[in-house]
Amino acid sequence: MKTEYIVSLNKVRKEYPGVVALDDISIDFRRGEVHAIAGENGAGKSTLIKILTGAIRPDSGEIVVDGQSFRGLRPQQALYGLGIVAIYQEFNLIPYRSIMENIFLGKELKRNGLLDIKAMRLESSRLLKLLGITIDPGTIVRNIGVAYQQIVEIAKAISNDVNILIMDEPTAPLTTLEVNILKDLIKKLRDSGITIIYISHRMSENFELADRITVLRDGAFVSTVDADTTSRSDLISMMVGRDVGISYPQHKVAVTREPLLEVKGLYSQKYIKDISFTLHQGEILGFGGLVGAGRTELAMALFGAAPIEQGEVFLSGRNINIRSTADAIKNGIALVPEDRKRHGILGHLSVRDNVSFSSMSNISRFSLVNRKKQIGIAEGFRKALSIKTPSVEKESRQLSGGNQQKVVLAKWLATNSNILIFDEPTRGIDIGAKQEIHQLIVELADNGKGIILISSEMPELLGMSDRILVMRDGSIVGYFSREEVTPEAVLELAAHE
């Protein structure tokens, strides 16, 4: 006989040396509901996912799945025996294999003992169309963007016989149109009887999608509330244990009219076409657009990570050539990348090493690093940026997402860069850390730095930017001032056919 709850955690505890990741929590998940788990980084959300998927075993407590009691689960048991499927924030794809091969990895379709390529291709196409995209299933995963890789992860997950679908920040790299497609799919899955455990730092998604919301804080259970009877401010207060304003910080000083960076007629590969714009001292210049519009590619070209085939770049009126990342760094141009774990930090290295990585020439002589100076710089930025780490010797991968982002920023501040390009700076970061990053960006602009802000979060783009340029198909198709911009106007330009 089926019970109301498909999954229950009873007094589940997980402890690591010096840290209680989950402190005797008890949560019930109903059949056919979207149940959001809210909490700041370090609240215990990731540990909860790993326990449900069998990646780790709790120290104590009970897991009840569909009436069966377990002290812990094994990965194969959770996936194939109980139908618990997770879509992680960090992709679990094989980059050199095709979309189709990734979707059917470990469960390939066969006919007469041979791989049925035709059947897998057709089913992959069906799943991708269900998610709102049309793309050749034979495309190699490394050749598609972050948003499409996330959609492949979702297609891979729903191709299994799912009873419980865990989504960890599934919309983080997606734009508004793609998010709407995913939201519709989530509602269909819920209505079909699938239980969805949803984790997102975007408050609007929790309220729009979730039937109930459970709040965790510092590994402890705070409360489970009905989404339709709880306010945003109440939820935030439960998450952080304090009142947090949701407004964006404003500039303390006016933007100067002194051009800092001028780009004229820039072309880069097939993605960037005739881009021209001016970035002023003290300005936060936002770039809006859908995935595939060319915003990240523009950032890569300005940072020397993609070739500039045509056009001119001027720095404070001086024509410069950017042929490599070394050229960009030499000219004071820095990039805080979209994927910080792959392109922003070296996770196995310490905070100290990461902070000083791009400014080694300033702290070394004859290839010998002045360790005392290196530690001093890292400690200085640890305090200045409030990087939460017990020591600058701690491995960067052990820090929360928000603190990793601060380490990336510290790395570029150590080079005294004057132009900072932020590509999705708060992706996968909790509310408290978001506000800290926003405040740091504004302070940099107040100090005369030029900021290029690329964001798929419309409130962030509108709330932080002095001006917004909208890109589509590799070109700038319009711009707005802070006073005249609206979400509808940006989306209309970005999606106009």
Contact, 292 vs 174, CB < 8 A?
no
Would you state the pLDDT for residue 376? Answer: 65
pLDDT score of 41: 64
Say if residue 497's pLDDT is above 60: no
* Long-range interactions of 300-305: CB distance < 8 A, separation 24+: 300/268, 300/335, 301/266, 301/268, 301/272, 302/263, 302/328, 302/333, 302/335, 302/421, 302/452, 303/328, 303/333, 303/334, 303/335, 303/421, 304/328, 304/333, 305/335
What's the rounded Cα separation, in Å, for the pair 360 and 365? 9
Task: State the SS3 of 111-173.
Answer: ECCEECHHHHHHHHHHHHHHCCCCCCCCCEHHHCCHHHHHHHHHHHHHCCCCCEEEEECCCCC
Token code pair at residue 305: 């990570």
pTM above threshold 0.85 = no
Of 221-225, 285-289, 360-364, 443-447, give the lowest mean pLDDT range: 360-364
**377 pLDDT more than 70:** no
First to last CA, the chain: 53
| Contact by Cβ (8 Å): 417, 411 | no
CA atoms within 13 A on the CB side of 408: 31
- pLDDT of 59 reads 95
22 sits in the region (left: phi over 0; alpha: psi -120 to 50; else beta) called: beta
**Mean pLDDT, the chain, whole residue set:** 84
**Residues contacting residue 134 through CB under 8 Å, at least 6 positions apart:** 128
The amino acid that residue 107 corresponds to is K
Sheet holding 195-199, edge to edge: 84-87, 164-168, 195-199, 34-38, 212-217, 220-226
The whole-number pLDDT of residue 369 equals: 63
Chain-centroid distance, C-alpha 394: 22
Alpha-carbon gap, residue 254 to 201, rounded angstroms: 31
Q: What is the model's pLDDT at position 243? A: 53
Q: What is the pLDDT of residue 16?
A: 78
User: Does residue 320 surpass a pLDDT of 90?
Assistant: yes
Q: Which residue has the higher pLDDT, 167 or 352?
A: 167
Mean pLDDT of 379-388: 72
Task: Note the pLDDT tens digit of each residue in 343-352.
Answer: 666 656 777 7
**DSSP symbols for 286-306:** EEE--TTSSHHHHHHHHTTSS
* Residue 378 pLDDT > 80: no
pLDDT of amino acid 252: 67
Listed residue (341, 350, 352) closest to 429, CA to CA: 341
CA atoms of 494 and 346, how far apart (whole Å) = 34
In a 13 Å sphere around the CA of 182, the CA atoms on its Cβ side amount to 25
The reported pLDDT for the residue numbered 173 is 64
Going from the C-alpha of 192 to that of each of 32, 164, 165, 196, 331, the distances in angstroms are 7, 12, 12, 11, 56
Judge whether residue 186 has pLDDT over 60.
yes
Q: Predicted confidence band at 106 (pLDDT cuts at 50, 70, 90)?
A: confident
Q: Write down the H helix ranges in 315-370.
A: 325-330, 351-356, 360-363
Q: Which two tokens stand for residue 60?
A: 């104590």
pLDDT 10s digits, 219-272: 899 999 999 999 887 887 887 675 545 578 887 666 667 899 999 999 998 789
pLDDT of 85 > 60? The answer is: yes
Would the pLDDT of 1 be above 60?
A: no
pLDDT 10s digits, 34-74: 999 988 767 888 899 999 999 999 999 999 999 999 999 99
- Residue 314 is predicted with a pLDDT of 95
pLDDT of residue 24: 95
- Give the pLDDT band (50/70/90) at residue 287: very high
Q: Which residues contact 386 (CB under 8 A, 6 or more apart)?
A: 406, 436
Can you tell me the mean pLDDT for 320-324?
92
Nearest CA-CA partner of 344 in 247, 255, 429, 446:
429
Q: CA 190, 193, 196 angle in degrees (round to 5)?
A: 45
**Which residue in 172, 88, 233, 217 sits closest to 426, CA to CA?**
172
How much is the average pLDDT of 202-221? 90
